[in-house]
């Protein structure tokens, strides 16, 4: 069932799909839905991306329900169905937690899910289920290595430079108030609320050279060993 579910989602626009075992990490009314189907698409988080993620979540729901399992799709954005139980789940459930637990990547120094192939460029969705899907191996540590590019270039100095690990997941990686106020300033000045420099600059999955951004070139050690075929994860 796991392979055919993954195939179904990959054939319809998902870039990566992983299965997480979230036993012990969910509370209350959703504790019994302890498998997560974590879905990533290699696209900026805009309206088109959100509607693709919603379609993929619906597809996973249909697939699992047809086989007699319960499901709960977590919305990928905050604006849909405001005020409903489902829309509250958007902020109550963390898509990145499902993604690291499904082995799709680690949390980088920029606070984002970093996939070894696509970097921080994945937008995420999650479907919780009680289907006994065999989980993928979770990611235990980050592979940022010595790189500090996102920290050096963040316009609001929001990135602390701390490193994530599954054993100690909640260290302060990003000063959220600094990031939020930078985004608010951008909205006020150029009408664009999103910054995303910590996505663009990350060497994992980056197609451009860093000089395309007018910045100094630098790569993390882990990235260098990946390019020479050295990293297994
Ligand atoms: C609130 C929010 C924001 C807030 C606060 C960000 C934040 N880090 O909390 C603000 C407005 C600042 C923001 C900004 C951005 N956001 Co935002 N945001 C969210 C939202 C709604 C909730 C995040 C959340 O729960 N935070 C609570 C804190 C406690 O968790 P956290 O630090 O984010 O994550 C921790 C856990 O995941 C934990 N963890 C990881 N693995 C595991 C495993 C286990 C077992 C456990 C226990 C914990 C654990 O480690 C993380 C680091 O401490 C999510 C959508 C969602 N529902 O998941 C999108 C989301 C995180 N945002 C996203 C994006 C793209 C952005 C921006 C790039 C937008 C932009 N272009 O400007 C910036 C990036 C800023 C940054 N560097 O983090 C994407 C990230 C995709 C990715 N590849 O990681 C998400 C997932 C939306 C989506 N559907 O794709 N965001
Ligand atoms: S979105 Fe911009 S301000 Fe926020 S952490 Fe990333 S680079 Fe810094
Ligand atoms: S830019 Fe460097 S330090 Fe920042 S998340 Fe990417 S690899 Fe990690």
Residue 139 forms part of a structural domain: no
For residue 171, give the nearest of 220, 119, 108 by alpha carbon. Answer: 108
Q: How close is the Cα of 187 to the center of ligand 2, in Å?
A: 14
| Closest-approaching ligand to the CA atom of 161 | 3
Identify whether residues 76 and 184 lie together within a single domain: no
Q: What is the pTM of this model?
A: 0.91
What pLDDT is attached to residue 89? 59
Beta strands in the chain (DSSP E): 16-21, 35-41, 71-74, 106-107, 113-114, 123-129
Do 19 and 119 lie in one domain? The reply is yes
Q: Is residue 19 located within the same domain as residue 118?
A: yes
Residue 142 Cβ inside 6 Å of ligand 3? The answer reads no
Report the half-sphere exposure of 44 (CA within 13 A, side-chain side).
9
Pick left, alpha or beta for residue 80 (phi over 0 → left; psi -120 to 50 → alpha; otherwise beta): beta
Res 228: pLDDT = 32
Contact by Cβ (8 Å): 161, 109 = yes
Whether residue 184 sits in one domain with residue 120: no
Indicate if 123 and 165 belong to the same structural domain. Answer: no
What is the total count of domains within the chain? 2
Each residue's pLDDT expressed in tens, for the chain with a length of 233 residues: 999 999 999 999 999 999 999 999 888 788 899 999 999 999 988 889 999 999 999 999 999 999 999 999 998 876 555 556 655 555 568 999 999 999 999 999 999 999 999 999 999 999 999 999 999 999 999 999 999 999 999 999 999 999 999 999 889 999 999 999 988 887 777 777 678 899 999 999 988 766 666 665 554 444 433 333 322 21
Domain around 36: 2-129
Which atom of ligand 3 lies at the shortest distance from residue 108's CA? 5
Determine, yes or no, domain membership for 222.
Answer: yes
* Domain match, 49 and 120 both: yes
Regarding whether 107 and 163 lie in a shared domain, the answer is: no
In a shared domain, residues 116 and 158: no
| Nearest ligand for residue 154 CA | 2
Whether residue 141 is contained in a domain is answered as: no
CA-proximal residue: ligand 2, atom 8 (nearest): 154
Asked if residue 149 has its Cβ within 6 Å of ligand 2, the reply is: no
> Do 156 and 121 have their domain in common?
no
Q: Would 157 be classed as within a structural domain?
A: yes
For residue 99, the ligand closest to its alpha carbon is 1
Residue that has been written with the tokens 């970093």 in this structure: 114
What is the predicted pLDDT for the residue at 67?
A: 97
Per-residue confidence (pLDDT) for residue 21, from 0 to 100: 97
Ligand 2 centre and the CA of 45: distance in Å?
A: 14
What does the pLDDT read at residue 88?
58
């Amino acid at each position: 069932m796991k392979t055919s579910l993954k195939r179904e989602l990959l054939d319809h626009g998902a870039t990566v799909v992983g299965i997480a075992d979230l036993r012990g990490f969910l509370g209350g009314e959703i504790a019994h839905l302890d498998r997560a189907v974590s879905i990533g698409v290699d696209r900026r988080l805009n309206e088109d991306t959100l509607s693709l993620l919603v379609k993929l979540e619906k597809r996973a729901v249909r697939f699992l329900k047809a086989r007699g399992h319960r499901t709960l799709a977590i919305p990928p954005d905050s604006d849909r169905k405001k005020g409903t139980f489902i829309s509250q789940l958007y902020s109550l459930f963390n898509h990145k937690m499902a993604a690291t637990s499904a082995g799709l990547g680690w949390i980088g120094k920029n606070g984002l899910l970093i996939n070894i192939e696509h970097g921080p460029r994945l937008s995420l969705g999650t479907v919780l289920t009680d289907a006994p899907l065999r989980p993928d191996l979770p990611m235990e540590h980050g592979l940022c290595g010595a790189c500090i590019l996102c920290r050096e270039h963040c316009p609001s100095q929001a990135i602390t430079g701390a490193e994530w690990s599954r054993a100690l997941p909640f260290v302060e990686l990003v000063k959220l108030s600094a990031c939020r106020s930078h985004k608010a300033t951008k909205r006020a000045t150029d009408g664009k609320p999103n910054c995303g420099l910590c996505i663009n600059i990350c060497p994992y999955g980056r197609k451009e050279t860093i000089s395309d951004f007018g910045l100094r070139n630098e790569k993390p050690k882990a990235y260098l060993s990946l390019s020479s075929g050295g990293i297994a994860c």
